Amino acid sequence: MKNENQKVEKAEGKKVFKSKITILLIAIIVVIIVVLILVFILGGNKSNIDYDNDMISYGFDKLYNNESAKADETVSKSELMKMVIGVTLNRDDIAELLDLTTIIEGYDGYSDYEDKLEYDNQLWVEYAKSFEMIADSEITNVNQNDKATFIDAVTYLSKAKTKLLKKVLDTEVETNVKNLEAFKADQQFAIKDMIKNEVIENKDYDWRKNLTKGDLNKLVINFALNYNTLTLDDEKVNINKAKEPSNIADYPYTLANIDKSVYEIPNYVADSTEYKNAKLTYGEVKTEYSVFKYDVEQYLNTILNVDYNTITEEGLREALTDATLNLIPTEEIAEYVKYVKDNNIKVVGSAKVQIPAIYFDGEVYRVRTKIEYTVESNLMENVLLGDLGNDNTFIYDNKKVETIVDVPVDVVEDYNLYYVVKAPIQNLTAGSVK
């Protein structure tokens, strides 16, 4: 009898043990599944979008009347229109885009115009009307301070897409919006398009509530990232944290197609008291980025593509006119052309500015640029424009060179004209500028 009881106790003990093992295994499997889900959500799909802070990084906060993107503040209709146009064009001033004499009664076209405006943001509203984004009665000096609504913001953004960006609305989407048919036709199209293009989520919003800056911050940044209004050449902003450079705080944004190592190269500092990193520089001169890009690439693509068979003084000078404002002395051009012909110099190369890696070193702007070139010459020294007339002799070989340079760009402040400063390429290597 005793043996029988012992057998029963052992059998029950084994069952309890097996049950505990089973429960433990199930628990472990559940934990692994949860961890995998969290890794996928929080790790594999990390985004570096921080709407309120990005408003400041992109310089959009300045478009608000009080230059603050504080999330809980409300927005007026004219202020909303200014934000929508400013984000779409990536500008904080559009006076030069308008004929002010047709807007401001009695304006002579030369004197200050601000005190002659009927209300804040009038120029932005008039610009919108000129592109038929809104009817004349939509925003006036009487109702310009009325509170904007969420549906106003969505509708104005859709108008900016079609009228300013010249893009067609994409409304082929099933929405989760209740009573969509109760909205006006243009509002329905706007809602569908913004859902389809993930500017807003596919859900019901409190469409007619007063618009807050928190709402608008999210809308305009999603819009800017979706339609690449921040960048040149329709390039994509990087939103993947894994591809984010370690010094991301120094940049307003980075591009998805540029390796983070390019952004991580230390900047050259000529005067630490005046130095501004790329983020601070962007906030001040972002409207000039296309000028920086054009000038630097024009300059480098000219000096990196030289052929002793075809080069002429007149041709070289003309090719460099826009980029250098003709500030390279004629005798230097003549000396270099003669040197190229005498030594059968041929260079083939290309250059691409690495937006937005543009900073102010304390004395001049520096435009980070990727270059590649190959040299053929009877004499492999001082072969590029800028090499001659220096204390150093610059040696080249016939291998293809690929490098990153920080090109100096100065400005004639009285005329706001930017130009590339001639310098030896080998002295401009990013991280070791001389």
Within a domain: residue 434? no
The whole-angstrom separation of Cα 160 and Cα 103 is: 21
Q: Of 207, 227, 247, which residue sits at a domain end?
A: 227
**What is the percent of the chain where pLDDT is above 70?**
89
Q: Indicate whether 324 pLDDT > 70.
A: yes
Query: Is the residue at 255 inside a domain?
Result: no
Q: What is the pLDDT of residues 185-229, one digit of tens each?
A: 999 999 999 999 999 999 999 999 999 999 999 999 999 999 999
pLDDT tens-digit map of 293-316: 999 999 999 999 999 999 999 999
Q: Which tens digits make up the pLDDT trace of 33-92?
A: 544 444 344 444 456 688 988 999 899 999 999 999 999 999 999 999 999 999 999 999
SS3 193: helix
64 exposure class (CB count in 10 Å sphere: 0-12, 13-18, 19+): buried
Per-residue pLDDT of 341-352, as tens digits, reads 999 999 999 999
> Is residue 236 one of the residues assigned to a domain?
no
Q: What range defines the domain where residue 16 resides?
A: 1-45
Determine the Cα–Cα distance for residues 327 and 338; give it in Å rounded to an integer. Answer: 19
Domain total of the chain: 3
Look at the chain and count its residues.
Answer: 434
pLDDT surpassing 80 at residue 15? no
- Is residue 126 scored above 50 in pLDDT? yes
For position 28, what pLDDT does the model report? 60
Domain shared by 13 and 120, yes or no: no
Specify if 149 maps to a domain: yes
Whether residues 212 and 342 share a domain: the answer is: no
pLDDT for the residue numbered 69:
95
259 in a structural domain = no
Task: Note whether 200 and 296 are same-domain residues.
Answer: no
Task: Quote the pLDDT of residue 39.
Answer: 38
**Tally of CB atoms within 10 A around 138:** 16
Q: Is residue 280 part of a domain?
A: yes
Asked if the model's pLDDT at residue 325 lies above 60, the reply is yes
Question: Taking 50 as the threshold, does the pLDDT of residue 2 lie above it?
Answer: no
Together in a domain, 89 and 23? no
Q: Is the pLDDT of residue 16 over 90?
A: no
Q: Identify whether residues 71 and 39 lie together within a single domain.
A: no
pTM for the predicted model, two decimal places? 0.82
Looking at residue 35, what is its pLDDT?
A: 42
pLDDT in tens, 135-191: 999 999 999 999 999 999 999 999 999 999 999 999 999 999 999 999 999 999 999
Q: pLDDT > 90: what percent of the chain?
A: 83
CATH number of the domain that residue 329 is part of: 3.10.450
129 against 25, higher pLDDT: 129
Q: Is 213 exposed, middle or buried, given 0-12, 13-18 or 19+ CB atoms closer than 10 A?
A: buried
Look at strands 417-420 and 401-412 and give their pairing. Answer: antiparallel
Radius of gyration of the chain (CA): 30
In this structure, are 79 and 19 located in the same domain? no
Would you place residue 274 in the very low, low, confident or very high pLDDT band (cuts 50, 70, 90)?
very high
Least confident among 22-36, 131-145, 315-329: 22-36
Mean pLDDT to the nearest integer, 413-434? 96
Residue 433 lies in a domain: no
Looking at residue 26, its pLDDT comes to: 63
Give the 3-state secondary structure of residue 354.
strand
Rounded Cα–Cα distance for residues 375 and 394 (Å): 13
Residue 20 has pLDDT above 60, yes or no: no
Whether residues 34 and 149 share a domain: the answer is: no
Whether 324 maps to a domain, the answer reads yes
Token pair recorded at residue 142? 């009487």
Give the pLDDT mean for 391-397.
94
39 and 56: one domain?
A: no
The answer to which of 21-25, 364-368, 376-380, 390-394 has the lowest mean pLDDT is 21-25
| Residues 178 and 302 both lie in one domain | no
pLDDT at residue 382 greater than cutoff 60 = yes
**Together in a domain, 184 and 65:** yes
Q: What token pair was written down for 270?
A: 């000529």
Residue finishing a domain among 197, 227, 257 = 227
Q: Looking at the predicted structure, is the pLDDT value of residue 415 above 60?
A: yes
One domain for residues 299 and 382: yes
Identify whether residues 3 and 118 lie together within a single domain.
Answer: no
